[in-house]
Every structure is written in C-alpha cells, then in structure tokens.
Homo-oligomer: A and B are copies of this chain.
C-alpha cells in the first residue's frame, strides 16, 4: 500500500485540492453554522493544514477551489432547490469580500493556485481547474474540504470523469449528518477513489 501511495501521489504529478474551505463557508463568516460546526468537531482544518504544509514541502501543487457570486448574481444560474433558496437571501460569498477568502488556518502560500467559480456545485465543469491541472502535468488529485454531500462528491466524480486518479484523506472531508457522510465514503466514493488518512499521505511523501 505504501508503494502504491508513493506512485499514486508522486509530487510532480499530484495536486491537493481544497473545496470551498472559505471563511464564508467553514470559517468565521460562515452562514451555514452546522457545516462549520462539523468541520470544527472533526478537526478538518488542522488535518488539512498539515497536509497542505507537507504538500508544499515536497512540491505537490495546492489549488483552492472556491465559490463566489457577483452582488447582482450575473453569471450564476438558480437551477437547483439549493440555489433557489439562497437567492432569497443577500449574496454572502460576494466577489472580493472577506467571506470568499481561504480560511487563515490553511496558511495560503504564494505558490498555491486558485480556481474560482460562480456557477454549479462542483469545481471542474465550466472552470479553469482542468486546464490548470493539465498545464502542471497533474495526474492525481487529493480531495479535501466540503461537503461530502455535494461538493466533495462532485469534485471526486468530475475529477474521475476528466481522467484523474483521486485520493481522499477521510479526515480532511466532512458532510452532514456525520454518519451519512461516512456512508457516502463507503457506498459511493470507495468506487471512485482511494481512501486513506492524511497521515498516510504525509508518510508516503516522507518516504
């Protein structure tokens, strides 16, 4: 397994993706308190921060996948029950506002990249994430962030459909309720990705 992880996670061709780990989603400006609480209860941010630090040390690229909206919501379709409900409230993840920033716990570095989107529920379709990964010669992506319900499921699924291999550090992702998130990892994501702990990934990079 250690050998497999080393090949699968070769720093030259691996990128760690953070999914919506933004102040307005899981940080101090979070509008969905339950999700932020789950992130806190499970130490998602400390685990992910450790992983990102290790990634930067070995030269694996870090890319923050973020969501943001214009105040007039131009460019953002309201084509789901989730977004239709969000429409009734003022825009919270406003382009250029503090809420869209990556949470400070992740100690964003100058070498980190960002792929932002104003539409949809996952980070690949209709964004620059795939060209960014291709330009960097990436073949494997490590999925961290929220939520296993939709965003992480979407990231993993889209990544697979774009030809990438996916690794999920299960202590760096969460969803609601907690037992449902665990079921998704077991019954769906296990078919699509390799599940490990962040410690195993860091260990593979030390070898």
Contact = CB atoms under 8 A, between A and B. Distances in A.
A135 B160 CA distance: 11
Contacts of A149: 187-188, 191
A154 interface: yes
Interface stretch (A22-30, A40-48, A112-120, A199-207): A112-120
A131 B149 CA distance: 23
Contacts of A190: 81
Given A128-B126, A132-B119, A188-B149, A61 B74 contact: yes
Nearest to A78: B135
A150 interface: yes
Interface string A68-93: 00101011110111100000000000
A126 B135 CA distance: 12
Contact of A135 (B74, B121, B128): B74
A45 to B, nearest CB: 23
Which range holds the interface residue count of chain A? 35 or more
Interface in A14-61: 61
Nearest to A77: B135
A195 to B, nearest CB: 9
A149 to B, nearest CB: 5
A120 B118 CA distance: 21
A53 B121 CA distance: 32
A130 interface: yes
A43 B194 CA distance: 33
A80 B160 contact: yes
16 contacts: A72-B111, A75-B113, A75-B135, A79-B164, A81-B193, A120-B131, A122-B161, A127-B127, A131-B161, A131-B162, A149-B191, A150-B157, A153-B157, A158-B158, A175-B187, A177-B187
